[in-house]
Structure 1
Amino acid sequence: MQLKRVVVTGLGALTPIGNNIQEYWEGLKSGKSGAAPITYYDTEKFKTKFACELKNFNAEDYFDRKEARKLDRFAQYALVSSDEAIIDSGLDLDKIDKFRVGVIWGAGIGGLETFQNEMLNFAAGDGTPRFNPFFIPKMIADIAPGNISIKHGFMGPNYTTVSACASSANAMIDALNYIRLGHCDVIVTGGSEAAVTIAGMGGFNAMHALSTLNESPETASRPFDATRDGFVLGEGAGALILEEYEHAKARGANIYAEIVGGGMSSDAYHMTAPHPDGIGVVRVMENCLRDAGLKPEDVDAINTHGTSTPLGDVAELKAITKVFGAHAKNININSTKSMTGHLLGAAGAIEAIASILAMKYSLVPPTINHTTVDENIDPSLNLTLNKAQKREVNVAMSNTFGFGGHNACVVFKKIS
């Protein structure tokens, strides 16, 4: 069976460094930090008092008040970013076969704030279960793609992938394969997350996963730096329109890139820690290259998972050296989490978008906040430190890993 080619024809982003694609790119190329003191709740008793919140996001700019109250923030973010991507794609929704348009969306947690608030309200009451009738539909992770499809009438496959921080990368891989196999013409994919909450911050603090550099939030996300002490939690969404190549070409669509492969693997090692030798990460990149029909030396740039954790960053770079060998030093390696923080289930989507934009503009965004060399990291690797680097990027890879040992990798190529 001849697999169909799949291309990216629309992008949408809602991030801590920009509330649309253009703002996001400006933030990326300038090395902007999205970290700042938390505004959503009183952090006095919390170990970590900062995060990468969205800036200047008002739900009522996008939804009427009644509609906004029915949506958890993660679903609001999904709708806003997917709307931008659909508009960007130029799709005429009145002329396409909506039975062949799907929505496959990633969310690692879903409506955490909704769950938290309902439980707090119940605990503060007299024990009578007075729950909001929208409690369950606001909370469940699959409600984001459900709402996208309801809004636009898309009647193809519709579901959520949940694999912790790999969720939206898994969503993109599923979307790629549905189109490749001829089941769909178009799929809206990506991911969203809104875990900057009392429960989210408290839970990650209890795991000692978050940075506690409260004196300098804007520099706390420092992947590959010897002084890194944990990740910075972020929130937002990224959306991509994936489309069968001939379908896109027939309507004269603007094509950003071709998505040529996706790989998955499992560490099968630990609930939260990566395998120290990066065995699962080696395998996921090899699987991705094999799926794409590419050689290691074809890759120009890798946006790493790069969360700024002591163990994870070293394991991933060891894996890159093993997979790419001598060519590893020729690759621009970066971590855009240094700017956006870690968007959990939305990370794969916004980082894939960063890779696509690096190809479009021939500019690799920097890994910011690096000041101290880590002796455990190969000094010959180009980690794109502190400043964006001009480079022709023909093939770009994006890595995303999640608690539970879930590894996902996608690779994009300039269209030819």
Structure 2
Amino acid sequence: MAPYESDDSRTGDEADDMRAGRRKAARYVVPVAVVGVAAATIGLVPAFAGSGDPDLPEVSAQQLIEKIAASDVQQLSGTVKISTDLGLPDLGGLESSLGGATAGGRDGSGSSADPSSKLMELASGTHTLRVAADGEDKHKLSLLDKAAEYSVIHNGDEVWAYDSASNEAYHVKGAASAGKDTKDRSEDVPATPKELADEALKAADDTTSVTADGTAQVAGRDAYKLLIEPKQSGSTVGAISIAVDAKTGLPLKFTLTPASGGAAVIDAGFTEVDFSKPAASTFDFSPPKGAKVTEGDESASEGRAGKGDKARPEGGEELGKEFEGLNVIGEGWGSIARFDTGGEGLPSEASGAGDAGRFLDSLGDQVSGKFGSGTVFSTRLVNALITDDGKVYAGAVTKDALVKAADAAK
């Protein structure tokens, strides 16, 4: 059956049911910069997933959306492989230096176990994760390396994070603070197919084509495939494919391919999954002998240099002033965030900045237009234009789209 874009024969009640399903699907959203565009309503294409292997009953795209929204998997354990290829330049020794500089975490705690910095490793390369869950207050995520393991364990009112490579632990106690800390830190970078799928569904609006796209087997389980594609030109997103477990509705695999073609930008999927109750000992943790333990409340009040939150308000206010002009140009997958840094653009060789200017020039492309001139910094998904007068335009759009937006804003 050929897909078509709308069905005017739907009754008012049916339309209300569809909107209710969309709202329910969007409520599990986890923030992620990769597909962080605003959601409205999902423009569904009622194609059917009745072909391919395995042979499953036909379902519509809307039914798959509702199946994901209704999924209520409370217990599972499994292994997830996640690969991210943004096409970032190889910075060699500088990359290691930057990693060391940020190892102390967002709050300056000085702990290599701080989730806010450690989980950012998922933003590049290929990684293997072990995940486990038992209800709302027991979760474990382990990032496996060749010779080390990093884990975040949430058990009741406590959150522990442990880095075996450095023998350091990070601890937050108290139901309210632990929950907030986990959300603020470990969910900054979505690590499972469900987290990625939820955000993609949030991003889908009436500028999006959503179709059921056959079936597949993932981690030995039968699954339907949901295909999300931008209708607009100018987006760097080519397509998003989500494999949905036929029985539980849990997203098992998430793949984002760029409009430019080639390998996936993000490919995250279960290689093993078990929906039985994990052993209670899975969520037990005590820091090993000799481990350096950083308490979350200590890092917030003291920080690496004894500053912490006490020093933040002034800096935070200044940062807020710099981004007061933030607004969004366009809609859907063509959305572009625009803000004014309040200062001058980046140093360049042309401006007489010497080696620093040459280095920055090598990372970006020089562009010009009615807006003046500036530099575009590109990945395979997100691009940003920084003009010489301090304006910034960024989004999952092409370089040409950024220049056109900057010209239009003049």
Question: Is TM more than 0.5 here?
Answer: no
Which structure dedicates a bigger proportion of its chain to strand?
A: 2
TM-score between both structures, scaled by the size of structure 1: 0.25
Relative to its length, the structure with more helix (as a share) is 1
TM-score normalised over the length of structure 2: 0.25
